[in-house]
Structure 1
């Protein structure tokens, strides 16, 4: 491009009525001309006075543009000799034909990334009937939280506005240790608690600090797909261990090759809902003690148990220091809070404190301080108690709707606790196709087959979350889902 017509070229691209400043428009236009080669390397640019006159803009605007172009390396200038377009093209060197062809191909994600994306279970919709694992955030006591937050912000100290110390806000760790000892029979002191952003991060940290690439890890079959993704992405070799009505049930062959780590949900197996018996718990703990196996106990929603008190934790039975207990406050309060915790054995405390600070540079101290006040003032306990009653009502309404439509032909499984249960389908049913059709009809559910590593042996069913569905919406939403099930699985009709 001849610099004589540079002004004409720029004028055609400038919108004098636009909100974008003239400086920005001229700068981006000249950058584009240089990068595309329309202003070739070595080309002398017109003086700032000349270009400002030709464009009809202030000379200071052009001077600022030239200064920015010089600072970013687009042009070079020397007093008395003018401003010239710099040679910004990369040096190619000797490139073979094969290398040139390879360079034309677009960059793609890694094989590990491809596996993660291909197996992802995340839903595009995170709210509504019948999304599993989501509490009713509309019932969260927002006014109380807002009042506590305003009080803390009013006298915000610098310590609450910086990075979190390793392990998190100490008053919160103290409050959580008191809560967990009473509510979950967890044996812990405040120093053993590490605050995280949730169960995913807790497990990720434990895996990074306790395992090496290629180590074996036991996972329940079926298990939560999100945890499975965390473990696989860390390079662990996953060994699916089937569960029965008593919980994790490893065979002699499984036990002949002890894993480095075992991840379990003993108080409410996810997704099937059974409770690991005391005999199985003691056997697992003894196996872990003998073979130096780390156990991660995922206690994701045990506060919500219907008809009986919440069960004691596996960690409370551990005398060998082999259990890392992880939990989340998202299901008790609201998922967007993104706050969880882990309880680690005494000998791991220093390593985990350093690890969480080194890897994640934790913050959110103000939110942790608000949560501390929320717990100490008794709001957490009262909120959980109230929501347990409400979720129990919704559970009954959904079970009644299932019975009214299908009688005894479809069984409900794992409904004693939590925020969801499983609606079993005939083994001939395609639960993945049914879930997709339900989504198209405006109802969210998850196919049980997605939670199995060995899908050929998967039980067919649908995960139904009832916690976030208002009472009056349960029956009509299940009616829509039932229509989809009947259409796909005839002759599933009323008994």
Structure 2
């Protein structure tokens, strides 16, 4: 066996416990103790089964669970490797903070990353030069205030979880695209618009004509373009109802494009429709019905129909921000508002920032099937601004969609996210603190943690930052000051299981400090 592959000795699996659980526990213990380090290769499933005296299927199931938990990363045709190992003192460097479910090598606090060592066994820890075992150091405060070691803010997906083969193939396709003299289409490349329409048909229950798909540089650009189009059409500042709490960047996009926002409370079933109806007339309403941002409520289908009926009666445009509908952890998927729209009231907004890679700045608007002056105004605003997403990026994204690479990536990330969700629930529930609660976990890649104690959300955020962990205060999402429970919002899509456990432990301690 290759010298870089870690061997697993230590006797047969204990038959008194589940075989899969025993294999998983053994590997976890080696990673947690620092015996296995980031980048170490683990044996093949066949070799592991032979060493431990179990069926190969048992090891396959164990590796699958460990992959989902973020301890190892498996790829077809390649050796499985440890991700983020090296003990509790191992954290990413400030400049290379991991925003992935399987990123680069981690650096221990206080020193450089150590190289991969020799043989490790399940019988004991890695020995130091004097024969004693090495204990991983505790997490220290970062040397410079404000330097992030772990970024656990929402909105950072598991970027490096994608297959490197698929990623490189996409950019080869972009490089192979023929050069031409001419300007890009402001509405987006036809191939990308076609692939986005096909993806929506597979995942969101409606198949728009690609001509109705408009490529934008992120959701905030999409909201800004829509607001600008309405302002030009109406000849005044458009009034846009928004969720309270809701997406702060979306509110800023409205106001920066000349619009006015009006907050509407959010309840257990999403936007409060009675409160919406009680507002002075509005021109548009912006909602996140599939996974309300940030509280996580889901708008039931009956309420979605009621919202659409209200929009039809009042002539109000509905902006559906479908930002992370791909991640549904509990219950059946709920159809998009656009799939229920029969009157041409819904502009559907989506993109790749929350599910794939925000650096691509590639999103979309789907215009209603029924053409009207509002759709024409949005198209005019998009054309007036010119193209905003570089053609090579559009070609690469279109290839990821056409080849199935993005769907494969999302399948893996969904599995990882489901494990992270359970980890948050277990850790918060086991804290023993009365009133500590984890919310927004039925879908998506973030959690809201609230508590009744004296510690404010911003105080906890500051304490976490001093320890090198970034989270967001729930207060920052509200339109009305003081309307929200005390809490923080943390993203777990980019963290390994080990990193998330570290973040949650520090969070519970920061809250308990009062």
* TM-score scaled by length of structure 2: 0.67
The answer (yes or no) to whether the contact 2:301–2:334 under 8 Å persists in 1 is no
Residue segments in structure 2 that go unaligned for 5+ positions in a row: 1-145
The answer (yes or no) to whether the contact 1:422–1:464 under 8 Å persists in 2 is yes
> What does residue 217 of structure 1 align with?
240
The answer (yes or no) to whether the contact 2:438–2:449 under 8 Å persists in 1 is yes
1:236 to 247, 254, 259: 259
Structure 1 position 397 matched with structure 2 position 423 = yes
The answer (yes or no) to whether the contact 1:164–1:363 under 8 Å persists in 2 is no
> What does residue 297 of structure 2 align with?
274
User: CA–CA distance in 2 between the matches of 1:199 and 1:383?
Assistant: 21
User: CA–CA distance in 1 between the matches of 2:238 and 2:218?
Assistant: 24
Q: CA deviation at 1:428?
A: 4.5
Structure 1 position 163 matched with structure 2 position 183 = yes
Would the alpha carbon gap of residues 243 and 441 (structure 1) be closer, same or farther in structure 2, given more than 3 Å must change? same
> What does residue 162 of structure 2 align with?
140
Q: CA deviation at 1:167?
A: 1.5
> What does residue 318 of structure 1 align with?
341
Q: CA deviation at 1:440?
A: 1.4
1:181 to 193, 201, 208: 201
SS of equivalent to 2:482: helix
Would the alpha carbon gap of residues 189 and 459 (structure 1) be closer, same or farther in structure 2, given more than 3 Å must change? same
Q: How many residues align?
A: 363
Would the alpha carbon gap of residues 334 and 256 (structure 1) be closer, same or farther in structure 2, given more than 3 Å must change? closer
User: CA–CA distance in 2 between the matches of 1:139 and 1:222?
Assistant: 31
Structure 1 position 425 matched with structure 2 position 451 = yes
Q: CA deviation at 1:166?
A: 3.2
> What does residue 14 of structure 1 align with?
none
SS of equivalent to 1:421: strand
> What does residue 16 of structure 2 align with?
none
1:382-403 deviation per Cα after TM superposition (whole angstroms, max 9, x unaligned):
1111100011112222222222
1:299-318 deviation per Cα after TM superposition (whole angstroms, max 9, x unaligned):
00110111344321011111
Would the alpha carbon gap of residues 362 and 342 (structure 1) be closer, same or farther in structure 2, given more than 3 Å must change? same
Would the alpha carbon gap of residues 220 and 151 (structure 1) be closer, same or farther in structure 2, given more than 3 Å must change? closer
188-197 or 235-244, which deviates more? 235-244
1:314-368 deviation per Cα after TM superposition (whole angstroms, max 9, x unaligned):
1111111111000111222211111001101242555444422321433411221
User: CA–CA distance in 1 between the matches of 2:497 and 2:217?
Assistant: 31
> What does residue 369 of structure 1 align with?
395
> What does residue 504 of structure 2 align with?
478
The answer (yes or no) to whether the contact 1:191–1:349 under 8 Å persists in 2 is no
Would the alpha carbon gap of residues 256 and 263 (structure 1) be closer, same or farther in structure 2, given more than 3 Å must change? closer
User: CA–CA distance in 2 between the matches of 1:342 and 1:272?
Assistant: 24
Structure 1 position 205 matched with structure 2 position 231 = no
Q: CA deviation at 1:252?
A: 6.0
1:132-156 deviation per Cα after TM superposition (whole angstroms, max 9, x unaligned):
1211122133332222322442352
Would the alpha carbon gap of residues 222 and 363 (structure 1) be closer, same or farther in structure 2, given more than 3 Å must change? closer
User: CA–CA distance in 2 between the matches of 1:125 and 1:330?
Assistant: 24
Runs of 4+ off more than 4 Å: 124-127, 348-351
> What does residue 309 of structure 2 align with?
286
Structure 1 position 303 matched with structure 2 position 326 = yes
2:492 to 453, 466, 475: 466
2:469 to 433, 438, 443: 443
1:52-97 deviation per Cα after TM superposition (whole angstroms, max 9, x unaligned):
xxxxxxxxxxxxxxxxxxxxxxxxxxxxxxxxxxxxxxxxxxxxxx
> What does residue 338 of structure 1 align with?
361
Q: CA deviation at 1:449?
A: 0.9
CA RMSD of aligned residues (A): 2.1
The answer (yes or no) to whether the contact 1:163–1:365 under 8 Å persists in 2 is no
The answer (yes or no) to whether the contact 1:187–1:315 under 8 Å persists in 2 is no
User: CA–CA distance in 2 between the matches of 1:282 and 1:396?
Assistant: 32
User: CA–CA distance in 2 between the matches of 1:127 and 1:368?
Assistant: 32
The answer (yes or no) to whether the contact 2:361–2:389 under 8 Å persists in 1 is no
* TM-score scaled by length of structure 1: 0.69
> What does residue 379 of structure 1 align with?
405
Q: CA deviation at 1:201?
A: 0.5
> What does residue 192 of structure 1 align with?
212
301-310 or 222-231, which deviates more? 301-310
The answer (yes or no) to whether the contact 2:243–2:271 under 8 Å persists in 1 is yes
Q: CA deviation at 1:469?
A: 0.8
